[in-house]
């Protein structure tokens, strides 16, 4: 599993070729995990586009499925979206049917819109490890259920993958630095009291304000 491969600096056809190879090498055990990252990282570090990230990642999943279908069923590749366009698949670049089928696609998500979109189009959700049990049950899972309902999908068809971060060793200095960077790139903050210590974004959850005496803590 890639957890996660940053999606937007990559092209769907590039991702599809890499995922197809890994699916065959692993004999059907590969999972393509994708994530959006944040605007600053995508635009300033990767030099890629980030606008409308929810719509963009949904379309990327659709493009990947169209490419996999062209290889595995012989269906003509004719994907035309707002962000991606794939209409040519010559025999030279067609690997043909994968003996293990196309790999499942999981998405990493935190906010309610991205989480709902993930449940609508992906095969599984990679849960943000900066969170609490309460946040998972009160924020994440309602968004998952809403997305599944909107797409007419059953819960049995969708995987939810909770995660934890483990530091093994005696010196945790590098781990703290890594976690600080990870938290900063997710534009997250600790939302005390209301979400029981869950990590949340300013736009995705009820968050503290100066008026009621609560505050953001990085």
- Confidence check: pLDDT of 17 > 70: yes
User: Residue 51 sits in a domain of what CATH number?
Assistant: 3.20.20.30
Asked if 28 and 60 touch (Cβ cutoff 8 Å), the reply is no
Tell me the pTM. 0.83
- Confidence check: pLDDT of 153 > 80: yes
Asked if 49 and 8 touch (Cβ cutoff 8 Å), the reply is yes
Angle at 23 between CA 70 and CA 33, to 5 degrees: 90
According to the model, what pLDDT value does residue 186 have? Answer: 52
Establish if 36 belongs to a structural domain: yes
pLDDT-based confidence at residue 48 (cuts at 50, 70, 90): very high
Establish if 214 belongs to a structural domain: no
Establish if 93 belongs to a structural domain: yes
Range of the domain at 114: 5-166
Average pLDDT estimate for 94-108: 98
Establish if 202 belongs to a structural domain: no
- Confidence check: pLDDT of 156 > 90: yes
In the predicted model, what is the mean pLDDT of the chain?
Answer: 86
According to the model, what pLDDT value does residue 185 have? Answer: 59
Establish if 75 belongs to a structural domain: yes
**The dihedral of CA 96, 4, 31, 148: what is its sign?**
negative
Asked if 194 and 208 touch (Cβ cutoff 8 Å), the reply is yes
Establish if 218 belongs to a structural domain: no
Ranking 9-13, 57-61, 175-179, 207-211 by mean pLDDT, the lowest is 207-211
Establish if 162 belongs to a structural domain: yes
Domain count, the chain: 1
- Confidence check: pLDDT of 183 > 90: no
- Confidence check: pLDDT of 198 > 50: no
Establish if 137 belongs to a structural domain: yes
> Is residue 97 classed as helix, strand or coil in its secondary structure?
coil
Backbone phi and psi for residue 185, each to the nearest 5 degrees, phi listed first: -75, -20
């Amino acid at each position: 599993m890639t957890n996660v491969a940053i999606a937007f600096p990559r092209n769907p056809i590039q991702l599809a070729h890499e995922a197809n190879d890994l699916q065959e090498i692993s004999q059907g055990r590969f999972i393509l995990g994708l994530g959006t990252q944040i605007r600053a990282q995508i635009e300033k570090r990767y030099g890629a586009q980030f606008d409308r990230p929810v719509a963009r990642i949904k379309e990327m999943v659709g493009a990947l499925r169209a490419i996999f279908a062209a290889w595995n069923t012989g269906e003509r590749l004719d994907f035309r979206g707002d962000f991606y366009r794939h209409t040519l698949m010559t025999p030279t670049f067609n690997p043909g049917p994968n003996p293990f089928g196309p790999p499942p696609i999981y998405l990493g998500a935190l906010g309610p819109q991205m989480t709902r979109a993930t449940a609508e189009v992906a095969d599984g959700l990679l849960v943000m490890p900066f969170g609490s049990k309460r946040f998972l049950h009160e924020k994440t899972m309602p968004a998952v259920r809403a997305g599944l309902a909107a797409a007419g999908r059953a819960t049995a068809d969708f995987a939810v993958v909770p995660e934890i971060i483990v530091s093994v060793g005696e010196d945790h200095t590098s781990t703290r630095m890594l976690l600080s960077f990870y938290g900063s790139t997710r534009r997250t903050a600790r939302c005390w009291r209301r979400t029981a210590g869950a990590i949340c974004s300013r736009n995705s959850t009820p968050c503290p304000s100066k008026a009621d005496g609560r505050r953001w803590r990085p």
